[in-house]
Amino acid sequence: MANVKCNPDLVRERAKCSFDVNELIHLIDGGENATKEKRHFEETIFSVKELQDAVPEEYLSHKDRYENAVRKATILRDVCREYMKKYNYKPNRFRVGHGVFKDVSPFLLHDGMFVATIIGQGTPEQQAEWLPKAENMQIIGTYAQTELGHGSFIRGLETRATYDPKTEEFILNNATLSSFKWWPGGLGSTVNHCIVVAQLFINGKSYGIQPFIVQIRDLNTHKPLPGVKVGEIGPKMGFQTANNGFLGFENFRIPRMNMLMKNAQVLKDGTFVKGMNEKLTYGTMVMVRVGIVGDCSLNTSLAATIAVRYSAVRHQSKIKAKEPEVQILDYVTQQHKLFIAIASSHVFRNVYSWLSKSYLNVMKDLAQGKQDHLPELHATACCLKAVCSRDAGSVVEECRLACGGHGYMTSSNLPLVYGFTIATVTYEGEQTVLLLQTARYLVKAWLAALQGKVLAPSVSYLSDWLKNDNVRWQNTPEGIVKGFQHVAAGKVKAAYDTIQKYIKLGKDYEDAWNLASVQLMKASEAHSRSILCEVSWGEVIRTSASPNLLQVLKQLAQLYLVYWTLETSGDFLVYSNISKDDIAILREKYEELLAAIRPNAVGLVDAFDLRDEILHSTLGSYDGRVYERLMEEALKSPLNQESVNASFHKYLKPLMEKAKL
């Protein structure tokens, strides 16, 4: 990229960067070699001509866009397969996926959840049967859980799998409209298999929801099998190429061994054997929630790169009347909008790496029959997924707004990035629902703290707070992290006390919970924020980097801490010993941090190392040729391929002529 002829503003910005951009790229990638491998892989993918679109996708019809996405998905699969064989390299498909599809791949659910569920929920025999076929794409699948009537409350799913011991089969049925599967990616027209999550019935008795692997289309003709009703759900706010679909069964039989039986089992005679913990059936969701925190980092870095580069190139208005128009990046309000995006991407990445390690440790424990840490992992993954996805959505939208009118152009790519980022707030567990899951855990932890029990590490601050809730406020990063824990502990206590108050007033526990649920949700959010602050600050101070880079990383981490303290200063005033003077000091600190980060802003987004092909943006390309690209892209509009459009003769001219009469 270094040899590209760049906009002079960007050249100047890059020259004043105080740290080595390559050092940060290597740090993000996990080493110099990892960067080399990543770049070689991306170079290979983006030099494949067939993966490049001649006409921008937005001009294609819904159907053509889907077919184009499938075409590219198959080419990408072949290229990746060859590449992996040749170089023994496991690529990050999500990064290049944004480049190839702009949006998401119709195989997203095959890779993200179908294969993962076979691994996570299948016995070794079942894995041997289906995994090689799924990994080779001999079969293509999705994860079909959500129904028209139920998504969040999965115990309420209506799809039935009734065991027939005579034939040793399950009979799948969707007797009601609300029981139809609705949403699964790839289901519309792409997949031939799915994991169907259904209510198991044996001899008229319900045994809860279980996962089944089901072939729904003929492998040769792709026709739905008899007893299967399947289709696509139509256009959405984003995820246009994900091919989300619907599905229903009528007396559709599958062999007994198609129930994934790593946890619970159904024996030939219909005996149900319970698993170690019925919640392990929800395992794929926990894994994907962890992954979504990483995805939030990537999505935020896409938007930040586009908006920061654009803001360095764009000049508008003046700070001083007699001086030239300034780069909009020099407005401190613009820095306020954008630098939190850069900082958030780093925070999400660090927290993702921490959460992934916890996830892998719990999986190791489970393999040995130990499940003590599962509730903590579930609670942590739920609240972090909820808060990171919501933050990422807000930050991406703020970046889009920070690009003014041009941020509204599809060619900026910001509307699309917003479309797939905001979906993460809902899928894989709607935000409020997940926050309330964490709140259940927090209330239990609070009770345990009151009883003097030892708490799990992520909530041990509740016991500390009980011992001393009067800690003196300190305007240091460590002091702020403590402050976030105080806010979280104060909110958990307040929510708990509110439940108790309603119970004393004669409400039963469930009603008291519902009445207190706004507070519970906020307590859960505060808990999540305290984890984000503690973990990200901890990761940064442990980072080994050159002094220049370390200084910048600390500035970003501090910016995140101070930004959120100021954003939630009301909570700090209520639940900590912060004073108005401390808040004034933090405001000053915030302005200092914005000024310190300003010269490095372009270097920082360059260090996300997102190629132009991945950014897909007229505003965010490395060379900063913003206006040229906006015009070049506009000229691709089909309306610009003719000097006079047929509608003139058909409608406009008659209208004008009628007006003359």
Ligand X SMILES: Cc1cc2nc3c(=O)[nH]c(=O)nc-3n(C[C@H](O)[C@H](O)[C@H](O)COP(=O)(O)OP(=O)(O)OC[C@H]3O[C@@H](n4cnc5c(N)ncnc54)[C@H](O)[C@@H]3O)c2cc1C
Least distance from ligand X to the Cβ atom of residue 204, Å:
27
CA distance 109 to 86: 26
Q: Is 64 helix (H, G, I), strand (E, B) or coil?
A: helix
CA nearest neighbour of 425 among 389, 377, 450: 389
Give the footprint of ligand LJ27NJHV on residues 262-291 (CB under 6 A).
279, 282, 285-286, 288, 291
Binding flag, residue 484, ligand LJ27NJHV (CB under 6 A): no
Of 157 and 328, the one with the shorter C-beta distance to ligand X is 157
CA-based radius of gyration for the chain: 27
Phi, psi (rounded to 5 degrees) for 262: -65, -35
Give the tokens for residue 533: 């602050």
Active-site residue, selected from the candidate residues 147, 169, 428, 539: 428
Tell how strand 181-182 and strand 245-249 pair up: antiparallel
CA distance 598 to 312: 10
Member of 353, 426, 460, 577 binding ligand X (CB under 6 A) = 426
DSSP result, 427-450:
TTS-HHHHHHHHHHHHHHHHHHHH
Of 84 and 237, the one with the shorter C-beta distance to ligand X is 237
CB 449 within 8 A of CB 466: yes
Residue 455 burial class via C-beta count within 10 angstroms: exposed 0-12, middle 13-18, buried 19 and up: middle
Of 513 and 564, the one with the shorter C-beta distance to ligand X is 513
Of 179 and 536, the one with the shorter C-beta distance to ligand X is 179
Indicate which of ligand LJ27NJHV, ligand X, none lies near residue 350 (CB less than 5 to 8 Å, by partner kind): none
Member of 440, 507, 587, 636 binding ligand LJ27NJHV (CB under 6 A) = 440
Member of 196, 198, 292, 619 binding ligand LJ27NJHV (CB under 6 A) = 292
CA distance 342 to 356: 21
Give the tokens for residue 468: 């001393």
Indicate which of ligand LJ27NJHV, ligand X, none lies near residue 490 (CB less than 5 to 8 Å, by partner kind): none
CB 492 within 8 A of CB 527: yes
Residue ranges of the binding site: 146, 185
Binding flag, residue 636, ligand LJ27NJHV (CB under 6 A): no
Query: Considering CB under 6 A, how many residues would be counted as binding ligand LJ27NJHV?
Result: 39
CA distance 526 to 489: 9
Residue ranges of the binding site for FAD: 146, 185
Give the footprint of ligand X on residues 141-170 (CB under 6 A).
142-146, 151-152
Residue 88 burial class via C-beta count within 10 angstroms: exposed 0-12, middle 13-18, buried 19 and up: exposed
CA distance 481 to 263: 39
Binding letters toward ligand X, positions 176-205, x by CB under 6 A: -------xxx--------------------
CB 336 within 8 A of CB 559: no
CA distance 507 to 527: 27
Instruction: Please identify the residue of the shown chain whose CB is closest to the bound ligand X.
Output: 151
Give the footprint of ligand LJ27NJHV on residues 142-181 (CB under 6 A).
143, 145-146, 151-155
Give the footprint of ligand LJ27NJHV on residues 117-146 (CB under 6 A).
143, 145-146
CB 160 within 8 A of CB 254: no
Indicate which of ligand X, ligand LJ27NJHV, none lies near residue 155 (CB less than 5 to 8 Å, by partner kind): ligand LJ27NJHV
Binding flag, residue 94, ligand X (CB under 6 A): no
Least distance from ligand X to the Cβ atom of residue 161, Å:
16
CB 401 within 8 A of CB 376: no
Least distance from ligand X to the Cβ atom of residue 163, Å:
23
Of 194 and 266, the one with the shorter C-beta distance to ligand X is 194
636: number of Cβ within 10 Å: 14
398 an active-site residue?
Answer: no
Applying CB under 6 A, which residues contact ligand LJ27NJHV?
A: 28, 94, 108, 112-113, 143, 145-146, 151-155, 185, 279, 282, 285-286, 288, 291-292, 294-295, 297-298, 301, 345, 349, 352, 374-375, 378, 427-429, 433, 437, 440, 608
Residues that bind ligand X (CB under 6 A): 109, 142-146, 151-152, 183-185, 239, 244, 423, 426-430, 432-433, 436
Return the active site residues.
Answer: 428
